[in-house]
């Protein structure tokens, strides 16, 4: 997962999915709807803000070659650029419990120190091999 949001209200966390076979890409909308069906109180695949409150929003529309979602360690084009940064679940929990969203906002020098201290938290994603359950 990585913190990438430009606003304090919400964060985006990336989840990597794989194809069922090399020739059969996963339809992100189907996966989102499957999760929503299995966990209707906790998950939504609908973008409308009124339906997202208190739920995990699975934004299946980002799974498209024409989208411009920034990759990990990308700088935001802002006056004070922040970096799309991998984070741990403990950091997310601390951010929520302390109600301090700035804890998941990182500038470039801070990210370099994090990588020196924690290593590349995103590296396991690049090596991860998964098997999806049959639908």
Residue 118 maps to a domain: yes
Measured distance CA(128)–CA(126) in Å, rounded? 6
Return the CATH number at 51: 3.90.920.10
Stated pTM of the model: 0.57
Q: Give the domain range for residue 59.
A: 2-6+13-127
Measured distance CA(55)–CA(86) in Å, rounded? 21
Residue 59 maps to a domain: yes
Closest CA to 122 of 111, 132, 110: 111
Strand partners, 56: 43
Residue 97 maps to a domain: yes
Residue 132 maps to a domain: no
Residue 108 maps to a domain: yes
Which pLDDT belongs to residue 57? 85
Which pLDDT belongs to residue 65? 64
**What is the domain count for the chain?**
1
Structure tokens at 110: 């801070």
Measured distance CA(95)–CA(108) in Å, rounded? 20
pLDDT, tens digit only, all 135 positions of the chain: 555 555 434 444 445 444 444 445 567 788 888 889 999 999 998 888 888 888 888 887 776 666 666 778 888 777 888 888 888 889 888 888 998 888 888 999 999 999 999 999 988 888 877 776 665
């Amino acid at each position: 997962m990585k913190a990438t949001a430009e606003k304090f209200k919400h964060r985006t966390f990336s989840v990597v999915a794989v194809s069922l076979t090399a020739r059969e890409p996963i339809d992100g909308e189907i996966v989102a709807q499957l999760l929503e069906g299995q966990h209707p109180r906790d998950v939504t695949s609908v973008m409308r803000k009124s339906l997202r409150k208190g739920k995990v929003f699975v934004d299946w529309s980002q799974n498209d070659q024409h989208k411009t979602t920034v990759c990990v360690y990308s700088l935001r084009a802002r006056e004070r650029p922040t970096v799309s940064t991998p984070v741990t679940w403990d950091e997310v929990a601390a951010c929520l419990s302390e109600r301090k969203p700035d804890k998941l906002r990182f500038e470039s020098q801070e990210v370099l120190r994090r990588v020196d201290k924690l290593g590349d938290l995103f590296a396991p994603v690049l090596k991860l091999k998964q098997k999806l359950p049959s639908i």
